Amino acid sequence: MPVVYPRVARRMADIAPFHVMELLARAQQLAATGRSIIHMEVGEPDFSTAAPIVAAGRQALAEGRTGYTSACGLPALREAIAANYARRHGVDVDPGCIVVTPGASGALLLAAGVLMNPGERCLLADPTYPCNRHFLRFCEGEAVGIPVGADTAFQLTPELVDQHWDAQTRAVMLASPANPTGTLVPPAVMQGIREIVRAHGGALIVDEIYHGLVYDEPAVTALAGGDDVFVVNSFSKYYGMTGWRLGWLVAPPPCVRDVEKLMQNLLIAAPTPAQYAALAAFTPEAEAIFEERRLAFRQRRDFLVPALRAIGFEVPVMPQGAFYVYADASRFTDDSYSFCFRVLEETGVAITPGIDFGEYQAGRYVRFAYTTSLEALQDGVDRLQRFLH
Amino acid sequence: MPVVYPRVARRMADIAPFHVMELLARAQQLAATGRSIIHMEVGEPDFSTAAPIVAAGRQALAEGRTGYTSACGLPALREAIAANYARRHGVDVDPGCIVVTPGASGALLLAAGVLMNPGERCLLADPTYPCNRHFLRFCEGEAVGIPVGADTAFQLTPELVDQHWDAQTRAVMLASPANPTGTLVPPAVMQGIREIVRAHGGALIVDEIYHGLVYDEPAVTALAGGDDVFVVNSFSKYYGMTGWRLGWLVAPPPCVRDVEKLMQNLLIAAPTPAQYAALAAFTPEAEAIFEERRLAFRQRRDFLVPALRAIGFEVPVMPQGAFYVYADASRFTDDSYSFCFRVLEETGVAITPGIDFGEYQAGRYVRFAYTTSLEALQDGVDRLQRFLH
């Protein structure tokens, strides 16, 4: 009997690959021919994991900590995360509401799965982190991207949420600091949106994956406004643990049992060595390293934003967090995908096209990540200057 | 404004927690009061990870291997897995079709997500690994449990698949060796089912999570019959890496790109330290350890099955793999859930009730895991003997 390969589900037509991956593949080809490539496309800090965390991970392995933890994570880690909310943000979080996940990805999967019925809608900003749409689509929910621009710092507002809420709307997802724009949701806006969501009996999901990586004001968490919110966080960015795959979800108390059920069934538990390693993230030694790195990111931002503006990119809102600049390249192109490839071929500078983040004005925008050294950023800007002028 | 907590999605009513967790909680209470507990409920080998793997993990951390890998995993690991299929099973597998995942859980999530449209059905044996139903339900597919008993070694047959296939049926899921029964799908049965699935244009998913843990005959993989099958495997059981969260999915060639898209979006990548550590799983040193452990499991099985039969449990089919005995306790109870609690309270022996694995005759069956020492198994059987007689 001839082999018949299975067809795939309809959702796969709506789940896009990261376009930047094609560009990255081309960058690797160019690098293989000896070309010098400057990576300003990567959403991963260039620092490797801080030494105290690595040491704790190695120690845990030496002690044979290789079995499963309980589904919600090591009690000591859940308590350490809660203690950190209290100590650094003055917010009281029940450790019992913290579920440790394989990366923030795991947390986003759980939040979408616990909340979304098929056909129900979740409002989110366009542009946004591309996977957000796909977690929703995966469980047959619908992501409704609301076009946002510089006038609202690329964030939703209470007015926008109210205006777009309909009978099918179930949830709102915010990100602060946001990828790709690096902007924050001001506390008053957060509170306004929270009240609208409450009035509609909906759910609020706040992506705080870049929490702590802010440069102009203290980091605020949505948990400060109450426990009726799903907060997604990560050890990847501020804590520099990308490859370990560790994050967490703070769930509203009545939803914790359901989140735990999903965690047990879909993921079993987060990686054990990573959980033991992360216990060292809350030590003064580790925190000093994070602070030093935060200042380095700030210095890069403070160089990059004016430098990009000087060569003709418009950066309408100063990014206040994460490590991204979302730059309007409309002086050079209205097809930023082709533009990114041209820039790569001609200059060796790799940047991410706007279409990876949504549809609204995506052809005008590109994202620069300052996840490389100040020297490399300077070199990249010089190359762009020569190419564009 | 008063706080209104969000309600959860309908799927949560269909996704069950592991019932054994309640029992485990009670076992921990008893242990805290000083009671001696014998754990025969845990699906995790009692051996910690083999020293060569731990050493490789520690080495990777020392070398700063803490960043993301590409979505499908380290090329060297995908090649090592493919080489292992060739060397140990004589089967040619394209490394490009192997996607490294966070545990077999990640692989099951990807397979379900890539294949199932809402309302479509996947046939699987009842009893089965409980999460299988929930991965399907999560993406709005429907798990159809087909009652199977000792006459088919608790496995589906070509006849059963053909008989239950209807217009909504999209896939069949098999497990070999199976949890909770430890039985295998004989190659001829596998081939028969594969041909029926091909004839219907459906998809075949084979759970080989316990692959290699077989005691009476060589391990066979469904990949030997062709590449039109999704095969799920794990570093957790045979390779003893539970807490590291590492597994893999072998996908049919035309589906790989879609699996990769889902992996990128839902999970980013499997844990990096675990991937480097797993490279050491294919060395002669590590393989000698796995073989020694396999023989220890066989010795335990060879003790436990006759011992359980001698005290009145019926074990209608000799389990040939994994580390489970699915035992008929109908001489003692028709409510195995209460029975497990009574056994725990009276004897301190923890076992898993049948309802964790399905509905068919679930009240009659209990699962014993031989993931504890021969001495503990002997002690457990003695305690049961005194309690039951």
Residues of chain A neighbouring B266 (CB-CB closer than 8 A): 105, 109, 131, 134-135, 138
What is the maximum alpha-carbon separation in chain A?
67
Q: What contacts B128, CB < 8 A, 6 or more positions away? A: B145, B173, B175, B178, B179, B357, B358
Last residue of a domain, one of A223, A256, A283: A283
Query: Chain A: nearest CA to B385, how far in angstroms?
Result: 31
- The beta-carbon neighbor of B15 closest among A21, A265, A272 is A265
Look at the alpha carbons of A86, A92, A94, A99 in this order and tell me if their dihedral is positive or negative. negative
Please check whether residues B320 and B330 belong to one and the same domain: yes
Indicate yes or no: CB of A265 within 8 angstroms of CB of B198.
Answer: no
Final residue in a domain of this structure, among A238, A255, A283: A283
Residue B222 contacts residue B211 (beta carbons within 8 Å): no
- Within 8 A by CB and 6+ apart from A157, the residues are A189, A192, A193
A295 found inside a domain: yes
Do B171 and B252 fall into the same domain?
Answer: yes
Domain boundary pick from A283, A312, A329: A283
| Phi, then psi, of A165 in degrees rounded to 5 | -70, 130
Whether pLDDT at B2 is above 80: no
Which of A54, A258, A274 lies nearest to residue B271, judging by beta carbons? A274
DSSP letter, residue B6: P
Residue B60 confidence class, pLDDT cut points 50, 70, 90:
very high
Q: What is the mean pLDDT of residues B4-12?
A: 92
Q: Are B33 and B167 contained in the same domain? A: no
Smallest CA–CA distance from B67 into chain A, residue: A243
Answer whether residue A377 is part of any domain.
yes
Q: What is the pTM of this model?
A: 0.97
Partners of B262 on chain A (C-beta within 8 Å) are 12, 15, 138
Distances (CA, A) of A163 to A160, A175, B5: 5, 19, 22
CA A289, A291, A292: angle at the middle one, nearest 5?
Answer: 65
Give the residue-averaged pLDDT of A85-112. Answer: 97
Asked if residue B284 has a cis previous peptide bond (ω within 30° of 0), the answer is no
Q: Give residue-wise pLDDT tens across range A225-236.
A: 999 999 999 999
At residue B21, the pLDDT reads 84
Q: Do A61 and A44 fall within a single domain?
A: no
pLDDT per residue as tens digits for the range B69-102:
999 999 999 999 999 999 999 999 999 999 999 9
Mean residue pLDDT of chain B comes to: 96
Q: What is the pLDDT of residue A16?
A: 87
Nearest CB neighbour to A268, from listed B12, B105, B171: B105
Phi and psi torsions of B161, nearest 5° = -65, -45
Tell me which of B3, B11, B19, B66 to substitute to probe the interface with A (most A C-beta atoms closer than 10 Å): B66
3-state secondary structure of B55: helix
**CB within 8 Å: B201 and A171:** no
* pLDDT surpasses 80 at B362: yes
Cα separation, B17 vs A262, whole angstroms: 8
User: Is B347 among the domain residues?
Assistant: yes
In this complex, do B271 and A102 lie within 8 Å of one another by their Cβ atoms? yes
Average pLDDT, chain A: 96
Residue A77: what pLDDT?
98
Comparing A7-21, B246-260, B355-369, the range with the smallest average pLDDT is A7-21
pLDDT interval class at B3 (50, 70, 90): confident
Q: Is the pLDDT of residue B24 over 90?
A: no
Query: Do the domain assignments include residue A192?
Result: yes
What is the chain B residue with the closest CA to A104?
A: B267
Residue A120: inside a domain, yes or no?
yes
B157 with B203, same domain: the answer is yes
Determine the Cα–Cα distance for residues B388 and B367; give it in Å rounded to an integer: 17
Using pLDDT thresholds of 50, 70 and 90, give the confidence band for residue A86: very high
If asked whether residues A73 and A196 sit together in one domain, one would say yes
pLDDT band at B140 (very low <50, low <70, confident <90, very high): very high
> Residue A58 is nearest to which of B2, B62, B203, comparing CB atoms?
B62
In a domain, A4, yes or no: no
Contacts of A113 in chain B (CB under 8 A): 9, 11, 138
Mean pLDDT to the nearest integer, B263-282? 97
| B198 and B97 within one domain | yes
Q: The domain containing residue B192 runs over which residues?
A: 51-283
Provide mean pLDDT across the span A132-148. 96
Q: What is the pLDDT of residue B192?
A: 98
- Residue whose token pair is 């080495």: B59
B216-229 pLDDT, tens digit per residue, is 999 999 999 999 99
ipTM of the modeled complex: 0.96
B5 lies in a domain? no
Tell how strand A142-147 and strand A121-126 pair up.
parallel
Q: Number of structural domains, chain A?
A: 2
pLDDT single digits (tens) B191-216: 999 999 999 999 999 999 999 999 99
Determine phi and psi for B261, rounding to 5 degrees. -60, -45
One domain, residues B331 and B261: no
pLDDT at A290 exceeding the cut of 90: yes
* Of A327, A354, A351, A328, the residue nearest A341 (C-alpha): A351
Compute the average pLDDT of residues B145-173. Answer: 98
Chain B residue with CA closest to A237: the answer is: B67
3-class DSSP state of B18: coil
pLDDT for res A2: 76
Nearest CB partner across the interface for A67, out of B103, B242, B262: B242
> The domain that contains A189 carries what CATH number?
3.40.640.10
Looking at the fold, whether A270 and A173 belong to one and the same domain comes out as: yes
Q: Check which CATH number belongs to the domain holding A314 and give it.
A: 3.90.1150.10
**Based on the domain organization, do B108 and B246 belong to the same domain?**
yes
Q: Is B67 found in the same domain as B15?
A: no
Q: Which residues, 6 or more positions from A61, have their beta carbon under 8 angstroms from its beta carbon?
A: A273, B54, B57, B58, B61
Whether the per-residue pLDDT at B182 is higher than 80: the answer is yes
DSSP state of B314: B
Q: What pLDDT does A42 receive?
A: 85
Asked if residue A1 has pLDDT above 80, the reply is: no
Q: What is the mean pLDDT of residues A239-257?
A: 97
Q: Is residue B164 part of a domain?
A: yes
How high is the pLDDT of residue B365? Answer: 98
| d(CA B167, nearest CA chain A) in Å | 15
Output the pLDDT for position B198: 95
Distance CA B172, CA B161 (A): 8
Closest Cα to residue A368, out of A308, A298, A317, A310?
Answer: A308
pLDDT tens profile A296-338: 999 999 999 999 999 999 999 999 999 999 999 999 999 999 9
**What is the nearest CA distance from B31 to chain A, expressed in angstroms?**
17
| Residues A193-209, mean pLDDT to the nearest whole number | 97
Max CA-CA distance within chain B?
67
How confident is the model at residue A21, as a pLDDT?
Answer: 84
Mean pLDDT of B226-248: 97
Confidence of residue B17 (pLDDT cuts 50, 70, 90): confident
Quick one: average pLDDT of B358-364? Answer: 96
A204, A342: one domain: no
